[in-house]
Copies of this chain bind each other. A is one copy, B any other.
């Protein structure tokens, strides 16, 4: 089966909103072995949307729209798809009741105009329950073609995709033969060119394919196989994965959606060790990334965002003379921050970041992008200097990424020269 994805919204077309939904939908389709050749974006314009829907329904078996299901006048997607497919909309009484209850709880004495159109479903097809918002989704069915409407807010779309849309198409495609499976190997500490040089013979094959992608502070290698069944596809991928791992070694830190913070939290849990963070120019991002992982509270109890000299002294016990002598952005202060947060938290490991994220604050000797990382443990403390390119948020992100990479390295290879105590 072939699908097209159409994102609807002038704010998307003009770039005022980032489209994360289309990626989530594409991933879900891929998981079900459904091919995608076109993805597109169209504004809140009824005629253009109708034209794009007609074209997509000619080219593909499934057309998934994203956005335009809300209660306002320019939410037009469901109505337009109904018109293009010539399938009437009917009201789902259970959802009307749900919306009415919600209005009561909010103390509304009347509903905004058009509000109840959110309960419309296709006469031929079905509604898609939405537990996190007010608009029902819809699956239209006509002559072997499927039109699927999903709402724009990601916290509504993603559960609807996983709970209703994926199972629906898994059932529809189960009679079909081609399945596409991908495995992403996530790599930190080796550049894209080097990665490619080591695996370039594998990149010449067509099944499975191997392709590198440069990410912020890391590289991904995607291995994709096509076969009759999931098992056959995985059987093509497995030896390729093994070969890549053998060539690249322990720079491979995870697979698929396993983030670097997931790898770090997992390693800490396996080793029954804890970490605490002292952050200056990363502003809380290391703590945020660690606490994004469920159950991270087992390995993480304290992060300190010390954005002033005073807070570095008071909460991290950084000596004021160090600050005066070397400046807050220095090897010495990075080490003192790491030791300080480790002692304050009573954790096994302390990690710190201090740097100049910009746009101001840079100097000839310490330009914007200058970052020092510190790592303290029971056997010592080290610091590292980095010079990152980019803007304020890039520097902050690269600093957090490098700090997490440093913690990971320490957990898997504590005997490396990196972790010999700094002089």
Chain B residues with CB under 8 Å of A360's CB are 294-295
Q: Is the CB of B37 within 8 A of A27?
A: no
**Complex CA distance for A345 and B158, rounded to whole angstroms:** 39
Q: Is A214 an interface residue, CB under 8 A from the partner?
A: yes
The quantity of this chain's copies bound in the complex is 2
Assess A305 versus B284: contact at CB under 8 Å? Given A155-B394, A193-B71.
yes
Min CB distance A280 to B, Å, is 9
Distance A21 CA – B193 CA, assembled complex (angstroms): 22
C-beta contact mask, A331-359 vs B, less than 8 Å → 1, else 0? 00000000000001110000000000011
Q: Which residues of B contact A284 (CB under 8 A)?
A: 279, 283-288, 291, 303, 305
Q: Which residues of B contact A394 (CB under 8 A)?
A: 154-155
B391 in contact with A182 (CB, 8 Å): no
Q: A270 — which chain B residues lie within 8 A by C-beta? A: none
Is A329 part of the contact surface with B, judged by Cβ < 8 Å?
Answer: no
Chain B CB within 8 A of A380 CB: no
Task: Evaluate whether A214 and B23 lie within 8 angstroms (CB atoms) in the complex, with A301-B307, A305-B304, A311-B345 already known.
Answer: no
* Nearest-neighbor residue (CB-CB) of A182 within chain B: B14
Cβ of A41 within 8 Å of any chain B Cβ, yes or no, is: yes
Which residues of B sit under 8 angstroms from A70, Cβ to Cβ?
192, 214
Whether A306 pairs with B302 at a CB distance below 8 angstroms is yes
Tell me which residues across on chain B come within 8 A of A392, comparing CB atoms.
292, 294
- In this complex, what residue of B is CB-closest to A132? B389
A11 at the interface (CB under 8 A from B): yes
Contact partner of A222 (CB less than 8 A), chosen from B11, B48, B112, is B11
Q: Are A214 and B303 in contact (CB under 8 A)?
A: no
Do A14 and B38 have beta carbons less than 8 Å apart?
no
Please name all residues of chain B whose beta carbon is closer than 8 Å to the beta carbon of A152 when the two chains form the complex: 214
A274 — nearest CB in chain B belongs to which residue? B308
Interchain nearest-CB distance for A156 vs B (Å) = 8
Contact indicator A203/B311 (Cβ below 8 Å):
no
User: Nearest chain-B residue to A296 (Cβ)?
Assistant: B307
- Which one, B9, B192, B294, B301, contacts A311 given CB within 8 A? B301
Q: Is A26 in contact with chain B by the CB < 8 A criterion?
A: yes
